Amino acid sequence: MDTHTEAGKTEYGAVDLQGLLRLQTWLSPAFPIGAFSYSHGVETAIRHGLIHDRDSASDWLQVLLEHGSGWNDALIFCESWRAALAEDKARLVEANTLALAMAPSLERYQETVQQGDAFIDAAKAWSDNDNGLLGVLSPIAMPVAVGATSALHGISLSAALAAFLQAFLANLVSAMVRHVPLGQKEGVALLHTLEVPLLDITAKAEGCTLDDLGSAAILSDIASMAHEIQTTRIFRS
């Protein structure tokens, strides 16, 4: 059921159409942050047979989402969204510093800051609502960049976080489709099966704090470290 608001905006639930369009643009593979060039250690996991079919791919992604970097990024995202909404620079800087410190490897650090910095640069076309908050962060982690920017543009936390996590998973599925091998239809089906876990993690993260940070996706972290010395590779992480 849709309702109409000022300035011609139409809301479906808690997401207005302008906010939806911005999320689609910012988290599109076409947005110039180079997301396609990062595999988050997936390339190494495939090479060593840890990811070899749809089931193993699903298991890998679900662990990341529920117990690994996806979970931690979700909490950092929520904290950054709330800090930006409150225009609390100190809180935002603290969230960013924590996000950078938690990177388990050099390539994971580079992955988050290179995408985060590129996101802020590319999003300057929408910088009218910045209020000077994001200028204090350099380098900036990707979940901090998207979370804070979403808050500054009035996009609800639940919508922004769900879209962010879906983009994260979709990028890794794209890497898997190219290398497992995993067919495109299987890749799409995989994203479908991850919808419910993604929505569950979105709701759970919104009710948690930074005290709930923690990762147990050790194989993923090791894969990201091993990727640094992998002699033949396509991805940057």
pLDDT of residue 115: 96
Put simply, whether the predicted model's pTM sits higher than 0.95 gets the answer no
Domain 39-227 sits in CATH 1.10.4190.10: yes
Q: What is the pLDDT of residues 205-215, one digit of tens each?
A: 999 999 999 99
Domain boundaries, the chain: 39-227
pLDDT of residue 128: 57
pLDDT of residue 14: 52
pLDDT of residue 117: 94
| DSSP character string of the chain | -EEE-GGG-EEETTEEHHHHHHHHHHTSTTSTT-GGG--TTHHHHHHTTSS-SHHHHHHHHHHHHHHSHHHHHHHHHHHHHHHHHTT-HHHHHHHHHHHHHT-SSHHHHHHHHHHHHHHHHHGGGGGGG-TTSGGG-SS--HHHHHHHHHHHTT--HHHHHHHHHHHHHHHHHHHHHHHTT--HHHHHHHHHHTHHHHHHHHHHHHT--GGG-----HHHHHHHHHHTT-SS-SS--
Please give the average pLDDT of every successive group of 10 residues along the chain, which has 237 residues. Answer: 38 68 95 92 93 95 97 98 95 96 95 94 77 77 96 95 97 90 90 97 97 95 88 79
pLDDT of residue 137: 81
pLDDT of residue 180: 80
pLDDT of residue 50: 95
pLDDT of residue 8: 36
pLDDT of residue 2: 35
